[in-house]
Amino acid sequence: MKKKHQEPKPSAETRSARVEGLRRRAFLGRLGLGAAGVLGVAGAANAEVGPLIGLERKQMARRIRKGCAKIAANRPHPVHPDNGEESDYPYVANYSKGLPHDDLGEVDPAAYEALVRALSTGREEDFEAIPLAGTRKLTNPQAGLGFDLEGPDGHSLSIPPAPRIDSPENSGEMVELYWQALTRDVHFSDYESDALALAAADDLSRLSDFRGPKDDGGRVTPRTLFRGTARGETDGPYISQFLYRDIPYGTLTISQRQRTAVAGLDYMTAYRNWLKIQRGATPSRSDQFEALPLYIRNGRDLATYVHFDALYEAYLNAALILLGLGAPADPGNPYGRYRKTAPFGTFGGPHILSLVTEVATRALKAVWFQKWYVHRRLRPEAFGGRVHNHLTGARSYPIDSEVLNSDAVSRVRSRHGSFLLPMAFPEGSPTHPAYGAGHATVAGACTTILKAWFDEDHVLEAPVAASADGTDLVAYTGPGAERLTLGGELNKLASNVAIGRNAAGVHWRTDASASLRLGEEIAIGVLEEQRVTLAEPHSFTLTRFDGTRVTV
């Protein structure tokens, strides 16, 4: 009987090459790049080993760069509408701080047009031709023109038009800011019993279009007052655990007691001083601080934190705290299933510590485009000047009546002698437009990275809050103490920073909410592009600020 033909048994070397080829194809498949066009193995003198070596590696690096560029190019490029105020109410409803202003605080039209001209051309000589009235320079409008080589291009993301000064929504936001100024020295833990906090909740509840968090009956309560709207933000103390716990920093342990401003000291409540600041003058007064460092207890303490922070400081600290706690990683981290290898440069401490800060400058470029090149929203302090001049009869503006008739405005007048918004910083706002907010965009980006990296459902045990005098931490046993999750406290951290800027009077609620989501998109885009550069099969799952889940 004729023997059936049999293929010769492959040698060990051939089998090894086949296995290596399968591994390489699997790796390339995860990258979504395929194997076409990969060059051959380098010469025999090359001692490296791996699924891709020599010229193969060089060619694949090029293909990965092209693949990431394709991911970025395939993202939609939106239109960028504004709210129409610049054309409907020229020179009174847009940012103009630092430029020449008349005695009503209205910008010189020629100076404003020079600003818009520079933004339109991007030419150095046009920026240098912008007339300034004082010593303060405009803050970095050119940043909005920068490109990035990782994540979405800053111009490919958008935020909705800001509320107009003639809208009830804008009234809701400004009334909240007046109340935040009035209650700066009320401890967060006293909101349930303090007369001012209770009055604030009642006044905000009466507004027709206030969009802060409310209870099930649709009312603002001391429990929801001045908080954010994302998951977990109304649980537990007002301040996130990540702004209280000690920070392990190598061999150092850093307390989060901070230098904070003295109580009762507000700025820019006199019209003459307000006008000088709008014209770009350096303030004649400076910050004054308590003798001892304190934990954050109230809106003034929080405003002081966001006055001097290093922008991504809170999120680097949060990452260090979580690593120190041994907090569990997201289930998509591949090292949860590996038994023979441990994470370090990828999926380990060095990776998350660099990644959480890596998104910050990308966030700033994106929001600086929105600020200068799309919206140019006026700062709350400038709108406070419009309210003051309108109510004193110096000028008539198309301001929605709800802010004019609010309890908050009348209380500010009684306390300070004007209708101007009392500011926590001597210089008032920075010299760039309000919408979106730099702090909030960085907060959204950095906390999104942390929510992707760690298990959001992990419960943080033994919650704490500041003592009455702020010198120590005490156990928190109030509402929500048993359900303070990692994800919820990161959401709260982002809002503490974003809304903390509102507590200072320099930003609006929508500056915070829209910018948190802008930062979130930047972080997700960076994770999408980094995914194809890593050898380990992995995923990241997180909860967006709007409550939806996404897996990268």
Q: What are the residue numbers of the active site?
A: 432, 439
- Contact in structure between 127 and 47 (CB atoms under 8 Å): no
Cis status, amide bond into 436, omega within 30 of 0: yes
Local structure of 390: helix, strand or coil: helix
Give the number of other Cβ atoms within 10 Å of residue 404's Cβ: 17
Q: What's the CA angle centered on 298, arms 297 and 303, to 5 degrees? A: 115
Positive or negative, the Cα torsion across 229, 230, 235, 241? negative
In DSSP terms, 441 is beta-bridged to none
Instruction: Write the CA distances from 348 to 283, 345, 353, integer angstroms.
Output: 46, 6, 9
**HSE of 346, CA atoms in CB hemisphere, 13 A:** 13
**Spatial CB neighbours of 97, under 8 Å, sequence gap ≥ 6:** 277, 278, 280, 379, 382, 428, 429, 431
Instruction: Decide if 204 contacts 175 (C-beta within 8 A).
Output: yes
Q: Is the dihedral of CA 543, 546, 547, 550 positive or negative?
A: negative
503: closest CA among 89, 178, 233?
178
SS3 117: helix
Nearest-Å Rg of the Cα atoms of the chain is 27
Query: 523 in helix, strand or coil?
Result: helix
Residues making up the chain, counted from first to last: 552
